[in-house]
Structure 1
């Protein structure tokens, strides 16, 4: 796998340590169900932050609030100090890209074409230019193909550029999703269970890829159930339990927290979100 992306000016660049993503007091309700309860999280430039929790903890729902798929019932999500619009394509244009827990490739398009789709927010050629297909259109198309091939080389897929996406092995399909997300030139990449279904060798390759992405100045926020992967990878880890942020800190802090251990073992602990909700109900 190539370990560097060829230098490319990016409008999303930011000094290391600058706060990129700021989610404040995010609440997401579906009717009478509160899936995310007052969650706040910050991701700085150059950081890799993990988001973990048992099944049903609200991790993907929170991701969807960050990327415009859901409009939070309460709270705000800002990127580089600007509140994000509740539309996924505008969030992508602002500088946030994501992958999904379930692979969402264009199966009948080639590997290269899939990455070219990810370039659409960074091209300025409109419908008229595409219809006329003048010199400007051809120059833009050539630049997009060149950049797409750079990203395929970065993810180790350049040799399969003309293969149909559906014919790639599972691990390479995951890589292709990441390459397509990177094609939008993000400052922040959100990965939803990037190693799900992978063998140890594929997981290790994904870890190296995420480190390489971070080394290019792109911050990463990742959901994952593989604890070894998360704790090896992340600068900070936040734990969601029943929609609430239970604890946030370094890998050592999170791993040694008795509440986290109890939550994963399914054991009750004092001050658990369910206990607090029950107390509020009893007070009525």
Structure 2
């Protein structure tokens, strides 16, 4: 008897309209346990809008997003509590807080101490605070930032700010991490380090869905890659499948999708 394991993330028919504009059109995608899945496409293809639909920033016009078999609530903090964390295309750190404090902020969804415990500084509060600090330092060590725990986030080099944003996302103990262009603006050495970090995250039991424009990064990293063009998923598969698809080639060269439709044979009669 063959058994099939339900996907960790199951996105079915997600459509997002803004008035008369359809930004995402009937997109379905799955992410399994232990998978790294890529999402690529030209600028304006709807990739970040799709991420926003997954994380509760937008409520899809149509379709459903399920995580571990349960439809996700359309609230970002509840999506985080459910087990999905994300980073952003534009870095969103607390610039005037320390590196450690930024990661501690990411732990707030996993702490259970109430306001009275915090105000009265009860023993349970101190225990929870110590646990959060220990977990945060582990994550800083994991991302190579432990030696800069007391530095202000704004003083970190660009590549380390990217790492810090990932550490903060991991602080919520996600089962699925969404990365929105994690290597944007990085040099080749930083990009290679980011690739190794994503593999290490996967090895810790966290699945990853990543948007990226760096094709070498994506194809070195991902088990499968989906391509969005004009809000639609046109192909999904392994490296060879995606690279050799004429629709993908046309999209990146700027040709309209219609031009990839085979021409009708000429009438020779």
**TM-score band w.r.t. shorter chain:** over 0.9
Is the 8 Å Cα contact of residues 100 and 137 (structure 2) preserved in structure 1?
A: yes
The yes-or-no answer on 1:169 pairing with 2:157 is: yes
Name the SS for the 1:150 alignment partner.
Answer: helix
Gaps in structure 2 of 5+ consecutive residues: 262-269
Question: Which residue among 124, 130, 137 is the counterpart of 1:142?
Answer: 130
The yes-or-no answer on 1:249 pairing with 2:244 is: no
| Partner in structure 2 of residue 58 of structure 1 | 46
Structure 2 Cα separation of the partners of residues 94 and 86 of structure 1: 11
Give the Å deviation of 1:268. Answer: 2.7
| Partner in structure 1 of residue 180 of structure 2 | 192
The yes-or-no answer on 1:230 pairing with 2:203 is: no
The yes-or-no answer on 1:203 pairing with 2:195 is: no
Is the 8 Å Cα contact of residues 17 and 47 (structure 1) preserved in structure 2?
A: no
| Partner in structure 2 of residue 45 of structure 1 | 33
Give the Å deviation of 1:272. Answer: 6.7
| CA RMSD of superposed structures (Å) | 1.4
Is the 8 Å Cα contact of residues 28 and 74 (structure 1) preserved in structure 2?
A: yes
Question: Which residue among 246, 259, 270 is the counterpart of 2:247?
Answer: 259
Name the SS for the 2:12 alignment partner.
Answer: strand
Q: Could you report, residue by residue, the CA deviation over 1:217-236 in whole angstroms, capped at 9, with x for unpaired residues?
A: 10000000000000000000
How many residues in Structure 1 have an aligned counterpart in Structure 2? 258
| Partner in structure 1 of residue 264 of structure 2 | none
Gaps in structure 1 of 5+ consecutive residues: 1-15, 274-284
Structure 2 Cα separation of the partners of residues 271 and 88 of structure 1: 39
Is the 8 Å Cα contact of residues 17 and 45 (structure 1) preserved in structure 2?
A: no
Give the Å deviation of 1:271. Answer: 7.4
| Partner in structure 2 of residue 156 of structure 1 | 144
Is the 8 Å Cα contact of residues 64 and 70 (structure 1) preserved in structure 2?
A: yes
Could you list the runs of 4 or more consecutive aligned residues of structure 1 that deviate by over 6 angstroms after TM superposition?
Answer: none
After TM superposition, list the pairs within 5 Å mapping 1:17-36 onto structure 2: 18-36=6-24
After TM superposition, list the pairs within 5 Å mapping 1:71-90 onto structure 2: 71-90=59-78
Q: Could you report, residue by residue, the CA deviation over 1:153-203 in whole angstroms, capped at 9, with x for unpaired residues?
A: 000000000000000000000000000000000000000000000000000
Structure 2 Cα separation of the partners of residues 107 and 17 of structure 1: 42
Give the Å deviation of 1:251. Answer: 1.1
Structure 1 Cα separation of the partners of residues 203 and 151 of structure 2: 29
Name the SS for the 2:178 alignment partner.
Answer: strand
Residue 272 and residue 55 in structure 1: after superposition, are their counterparts in 2 closer, same or farther (change >3 A)?
farther
| Partner in structure 2 of residue 129 of structure 1 | 117
